[in-house]
């Protein structure tokens, strides 16, 4: 019984999912109620997670771990899940996807991610991964009457299933060559001469790279981002990245610690390729969701650059990067949710033309977010990149740093292009301004956080350096 | 001194900008009120900086009014402080910004509120550059200036503004990112980014060359030096008058300041090694861009190219590393800040009335706008370095300084003085004298009161410092001496090491 106490948030979420499902079936037209309850239960689960002891606890035969890192990542996951739901209410309603399954599936996939974050065993890890992936397939094709959404779901399903297969194959290789699925035992049994296990690691990294959409496993990202309903896209862009990055960190720290030189090369390659592609391919895009897809590929490249150093500082910088990335993207998608005229949502960048005239405040927050995404000081995005480069230079990987900075300049171009459309072009018809409260709050919150981050940047570093107690 | 005077100087404009942001109501009233707030906060800042100058102790070369706050824990402290060199640039900035705001009141017709916000934000960032005593803080302010300047060019600029704004932004960003890597590398080499500590530490000589080049890439684009200057004419031509003034008067000076503070202070051996490179590029800049300026038919482009040539003098003076050369460079930067601002304002005056920057559109203005002709003449003469104006003192000292080091460079750059006279006087002749052919030009009105006030304050300063530059020299003297001493000591130390 004692051990059950430590998985209280997970238990609570699972029970909520079941009971909400029942509730939704029995009460007709209960979308509003269900989404309200989902939001409340997320807040409650966050509170439960924060209540967990601030030490390393391993339960269920060392297959599940609760440590400060996992607590931080879980809170981040649920928090941004909450904000994604909170800010996309209007969109869901006007696109007729306000079915009760929607919040429940999101909740279920969040549960999967939480399991992934806390897993300390290959089997639990795979279980969590599959739970979240299955939910994501459904979400991608949630607007089932829409061709593009169905296509996105199918595409994502086929490719993701392939990557899951590779991942599973990798897991089985690692198990075969080390004799265990437990992370710690794997770590002790692994060494450089274990060629079979090296193959396993490569396959596992491929699977994880698919989840964070790092190049060359990014093919699905633009199509799925574009095809899915925007509310789902914003979920895709934010929440699964947290789980994937934290699993990356866990794998690098525990089971594969001894194989540092083997996986470092792969991650450096993934990082460089993602940064370059993210910068170059986004230039020609006209659809803002597609552009955000390439932008997120680029950003994951920077996050992986921190990881590639393999140092404590590097991991810290990755987590900081991820956190700031989440806040920026929340704001960016908030702006995309506001591109609405007469119940139709617009996705073309040119629809933003002259936004500054009709909606000065929205234009200003978009401006702040875009400059921050481009990494221009004194906004938060600059600090994110700064920490990464500090760790990269510390590890003497100057090549990676130079590539990263040059791609920053290239990617600045397409962010500037949006700013140009917003501020320099002739105004079009104004958008509707009856935003709901959640959208307003998330947009204002994220742009203010980005803007004032420079006043006290230590706060994030302090938190994050205290959670890495390896 | 407990009162954080530097922080207040830096952040007063920002507070003013926030005030303007929240002003709401009827359009006319909003415009009026934002004008008042902008004028008030920028003038308050100007008087505060005068007070700063008054309480500044010019006898010591130590950094004064130092403030230090914990910022990025265990890594970077938010550190501010000034010496004589930065003092003058602060004064220049706080003086030029009100001038820009007054000119904006006349010429900016739409999005007035946003314009004042952008100008005030840029003031905060520029002052931050000159006050910061930490490399990361310096970079933060240095790069942050791109955002408001991009918007100023892009929103209120001329027909080809988008191209120019992008070119400006991407050129300078590309130059600067290398400086960021260099700053981070310095942190890992020495363990600090605090400028005062770094000036005492000696960066190992094998790193200095590459770090110097990284800083150079940033400053050379910003200054701009030949062949990285191509963004400047475009940016100047398209920017609104106030934008051009800020660009020419303050933004370019950040790079000169950076050369002095960082390139010389932190990397003496590399500076010594690369001096011929700087001399060659500067001489080319002076002669080539002066010749290009002769051929321009756009007034703003002509002045932009002349800026590049004048900045060539500045780099020659800095890297001559003589007392005369360095002091001449500082005076030259201050006086160029005033003169180029005045010239761009002169172009702005006729542009506001006739909406053309082409030289050929105007002729015979002396009969239509006599006051304007007189004012323009003074600035033209100042720009070509007539004795009695501040332009002369800077150029003269630079030439004296460099003559001791390298006669060839001195002779070649003196040619630039002649060419400057040629293009400025020819410009003046074509615009002001001759017969007025265009009937619309004949209807142009002479300077109004605001313009007259702005110009007379500029004329006063240019002539005052031309005749009596003593206050400027007093302020910078001990700092420059200290800079040269440190440089020589460091250089000898490194040379000894190499010889052993």
pLDDT in tens, B360-376: 888 888 888 888 899 99
pLDDT at A6: 87
> What mean pLDDT do residues B393-421 have?
90
Q: From B395, B299, B386, B292, select the one nearest B344 (Cα to Cα).
A: B299
Q: How far apart are CA B212 and CA B186, in angstroms?
A: 11
Q: How far apart are CA B403 and CA B385, in angstroms?
A: 18
pLDDT at B167: 92
Please give the angle made by the CA atoms of B148, B153 and B154, to the nearest 5 degrees.
Answer: 95
> What mean pLDDT do residues B213-217 have?
93
Question: Across chain B, what does the average pLDDT equal?
Answer: 89
What share of chain A in percent tops pLDDT 70? 99
Contact status, residue A293 vs residue A234, Cβ threshold 8 Å? no
Print the domain residue range for B12. 5-499
pTM: 0.93
Print the domain residue range for A463. 2-467
> What mean pLDDT do residues B246-253 have?
91
Q: From B244, B249, B245, B278, select the one nearest B157 (Cα to Cα).
A: B244
pLDDT at A469 over 70: no
In this structure, what token pair is assigned to residue A465?
Answer: 């350096």
> What mean pLDDT do residues A41-63 have?
90
Q: Is the ipTM of this complex over 0.90?
A: yes
Residue B437 — pLDDT band, cuts 50, 70, 90? Answer: confident
Q: Does A398 touch chain B (CB under 8 A)?
A: yes
Number of domains in chain B: 1
pLDDT at B187: 92
Tell me the CA end-to-end span of chain A in Å, nearest whole number.
28
Contact A393 B140 (CB under 8 A): no
Contact A393 B73 (CB under 8 A): no
Nearest residue of chain B to residue A383 (CA atoms) = B140
Contact B170 A409 (CB under 8 A): yes
Contact A377 B185 (CB under 8 A): no
- Indicate left, alpha or beta for B394 from its phi (over 0: left) and psi (-120 to 50: alpha): alpha
Nearest residue of chain B to residue A361 (CA atoms) = B21
pLDDT at A470: 57
pLDDT at B483 over 80: yes
> What mean pLDDT do residues A315-322 have?
93
Q: How far apart are CA B411 and CA B418, in angstroms?
A: 11
Q: How far apart are CA B138 and CA B133, in angstroms?
A: 7
Q: How far apart are CA A386 and CA B184, in angstroms?
A: 9
Contact A376 B144 (CB under 8 A): yes
Q: How far apart are CA A50 and CA A46, in angstroms?
A: 6
Residue B354 — pLDDT band, cuts 50, 70, 90? Answer: confident
Distance from CA of B420 to the nearest CA of A (A): 36
Residues of A in contact with B20 (CB under 8 A): none
Beta bridge partners of B82: B64
Q: How far apart are CA A225 and CA A285, in angstroms?
A: 13
Distance from CA of A419 to the nearest CA of B (A): 9
Residues of A in contact with B178 (CB under 8 A): 405
pLDDT in tens, A426-460: 888 888 887 788 899 999 999 999 999 988 888 88
Q: From B427, B174, B212, select the one nearest A406 (Cα to Cα).
A: B174
Q: Does A154 touch chain B (CB under 8 A)?
A: no
pLDDT at B306 over 60: yes
pLDDT at B78 over 70: yes
pLDDT at A372: 94
> What mean pLDDT do residues B2-31 have?
88
For residues A312-343, one letter each, b for 16 or more C-beta atoms within 10 angstroms of the residue's C-beta and e for the rest, the string is ebbbbbbbbbbbbbbbbbbbbbbbbbbbbeee
Nearest residue of chain A to residue B158 (CA atoms) = A424
pLDDT at A197: 86
Contact status, residue A365 vs residue A352, Cβ threshold 8 Å? no
> What mean pLDDT do residues A288-309 have?
93
pLDDT in tens, B23-63: 888 888 888 889 999 999 999 999 999 999 999 888 888 88
Number of domains in chain A: 1
Burial degree of A162 (CB within 10 A; 0-12, 13-18, 19+): middle
pLDDT at A388 over 70: yes
> What mean pLDDT do residues B75-97 have?
91
Q: Biggest alpha carbon distance in chain B?
A: 77
CB pairs under 8 A between A and B: 83
Q: How far apart are CA B52 and CA A222, in angstroms?
A: 55
Q: How far apart are CA B248 and CA B125, in angstroms?
A: 16
Q: Which of A313, A361, A388, A393 is the best residue to mutate to test the B interface, defined by the most B CB atoms within 10 Å of its own CB?
A: A393
Distance from CA of A194 to the nearest CA of B (A): 35
In this structure, what token pair is assigned to residue A31?
Answer: 């979308």
* Residue from the list A382, A386, A462 with its beta carbon closest to the beta carbon of B73: A462
In this structure, what token pair is assigned to residue B68?
Answer: 């230090």
pLDDT at A236: 93
């Amino acid at each position: 019984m004692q051990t059950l106490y430590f998985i209280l948030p997970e238990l609570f979420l699972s029970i909520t999912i079941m009971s909400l499902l029942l509730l939704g079936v029995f009460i007709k037209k209960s979308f509003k109620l269900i989404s309200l309850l989902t939001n409340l239960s997320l807040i409650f689960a966050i509170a439960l997670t924060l209540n967990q002891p601030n030490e390393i606890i391993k339960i269920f035969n060392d297959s599940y771990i609760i440590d400060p890192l996992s607590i931080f990542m879980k809170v981040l996951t649920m928090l941004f899940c909450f904000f994604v739901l909170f800010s996309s209410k209007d969109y869901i309603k006007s696109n007729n996807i306000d079915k009760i399954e929607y919040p429940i599936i999101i909740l279920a996939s969040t549960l999967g991610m939480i399991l992934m974050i806390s897993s300390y065993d290959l089997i639990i890890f795979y279980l969590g991964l599959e739970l979240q992936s299955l939910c994501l397939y459904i979400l991608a094709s949630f607007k089932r009457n829409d061709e593009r959404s169905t296509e996105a779901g199918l595409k994502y399903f086929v490719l993701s299933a392939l990557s899951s297969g590779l991942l599973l194959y990798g897991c089985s290789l690692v198990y075969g060559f080390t004799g265990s699925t437990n992370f710690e035992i794997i770590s002790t049994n692994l060494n450089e001469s274990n060629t079979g296990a090296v193959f396993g690691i490569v396959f596992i990294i491929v699977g994880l790279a698919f989840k964070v959409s790092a190049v060359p496993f990014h093919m699905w990202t633009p199509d799925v981002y574009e095809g899915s309903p925007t509310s789902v896209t914003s979920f895709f862009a934010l929440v699964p990245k947290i789980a994937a990055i934290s699993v990356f960190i866990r794998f690098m720290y525990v089971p594969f610690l001894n194989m540092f030189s083997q996986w470092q090369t792969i991650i450096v390659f993934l990082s460089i390729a993602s940064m370059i592609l993210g910068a170059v391919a986004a230039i020609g895009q006209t659809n803002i969701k597609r552009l955000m897809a390439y932008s997120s590929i680029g950003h994951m490249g920077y996050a992986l650059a921190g990881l590639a150093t393999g140092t404590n500082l590097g991991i810290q910088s990755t987590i900081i990067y991820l956190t700031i990335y989440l806040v920026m993207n929340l704001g960016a998608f908030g702006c995309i949710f506001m591109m609405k005229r007469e119940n139709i949502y617009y996705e073309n960048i040119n629809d933003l033309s002259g936004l500054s005239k009709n909606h000065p405040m929205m234009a200003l927050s978009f401006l702040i977010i875009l400059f921050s995404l481009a990494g221009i000081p004194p906004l938060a995005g600059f600090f994110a990149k700064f920490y990464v480069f500090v760790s990269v230079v510390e590890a003497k990987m100057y090549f990676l740093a130079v590539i990263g900075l040059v791609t920053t300049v290239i990617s600045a171009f397409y962010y500037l292009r949006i700013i140009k459309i917003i501020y320099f072009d002739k105004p079009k018809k104004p958008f509707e301004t009856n935003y709901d409260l959640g959208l307003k709050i998330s947009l204002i919150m994220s742009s203010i956080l980005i803007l004032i981050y420079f006043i006290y940047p230590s706060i994030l570093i302090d938190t994050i350096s205290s959670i890495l107690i390896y | 001194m407990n009162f954080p005077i530097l922080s207040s100087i830096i952040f007063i404009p920002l507070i003013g900008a926030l005030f303007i942001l929240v002003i709401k109501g009827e359009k006319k009233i909003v415009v009026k009120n934002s004008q008042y707030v902008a004028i008030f906060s920028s003038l308050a800042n100007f008087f505060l900086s005068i007070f700063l100058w008054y309480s500044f102790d010019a006898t010591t070369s130590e950094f004064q009014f130092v403030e230090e706050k914990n910022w990025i824990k265990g890594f970077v402290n938010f550190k501010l402080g000034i010496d004589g060199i930065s003092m003058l640039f602060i004064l220049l900035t706080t003086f030029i910004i009100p001038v820009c705001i007054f000119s904006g009141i006349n010429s900016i017709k739409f999005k007035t509120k946003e314009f004042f916000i952008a100008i005030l934000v840029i003031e905060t960032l520029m002052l931050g550059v000159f006050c910061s005593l930490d490399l990361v803080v310096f970079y933060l302010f240095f790069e942050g200036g791109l955002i408001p300047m991009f918007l100023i060019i892009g929103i209120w600029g001329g027909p080809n503004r988008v191209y120019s704004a992008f070119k400006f932004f991407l050129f300078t960003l590309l130059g600067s990112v290398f400086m960021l890597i260099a700053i981070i590398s310095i942190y890992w080499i020495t363990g600090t980014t605090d400028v005062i500590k770094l000036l005492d530490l000696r960066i190992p000589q094998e790193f200095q060359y590459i770090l110097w080049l990284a800083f150079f890439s940033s400053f050379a684009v910003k200054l701009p030096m030949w062949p990285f200057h191509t963004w400047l004419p475009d940016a100047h031509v398209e920017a609104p008058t106030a934008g051009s003034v800020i660009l020419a008067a303050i933004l370019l000076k950040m790079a000169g300041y950076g050369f002095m503070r960082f390139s010389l202070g932190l990397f003496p051996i590399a500076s010594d090694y690369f001096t011929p490179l700087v001399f060659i590029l500067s001489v080319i800049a002076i002669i080539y861009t002066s010749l290009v300026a002769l051929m321009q038919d756009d007034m703003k482009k002509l002045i932009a190219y002349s800026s590049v040539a004048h900045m060539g003098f500045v780099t020659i003076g800095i890297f001559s590393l003589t007392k005369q050369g360095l002091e001449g460079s500082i005076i030259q930067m201050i006086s160029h800040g005033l003169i180029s601002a005045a010239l761009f304002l002169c172009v702005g005056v006729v542009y506001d009335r006739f909406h053309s920057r082409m030289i050929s559109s105007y002729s015979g203005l002396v009969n239509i706008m006599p006051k304007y002709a007189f004012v323009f003449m003074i600035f033209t003469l100042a720009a070509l370095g007539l004795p009695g104006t501040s332009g002369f003192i800077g150029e003269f000292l630079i030439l004296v300084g460099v003559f001791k080091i390298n006669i060839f460079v001195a002779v070649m750059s003196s040619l630039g003085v002649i060419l400057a006279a040629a293009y400025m006087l020819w410009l003046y002749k074509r615009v002001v004298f001759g017969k007025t052919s265009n009937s619309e030009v004949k209807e142009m009105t002479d300077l109004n009161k605001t313009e007259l006030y702005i110009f007379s304050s500029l004329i006063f300063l240019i002539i005052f410092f031309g005749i009596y530059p003593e206050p400027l020299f007093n302020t910078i003297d001990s700092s420059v001496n200290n800079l040269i001493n440190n440089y020589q000591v460091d250089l000898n130390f490194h040379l000894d090491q190499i010889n052993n």
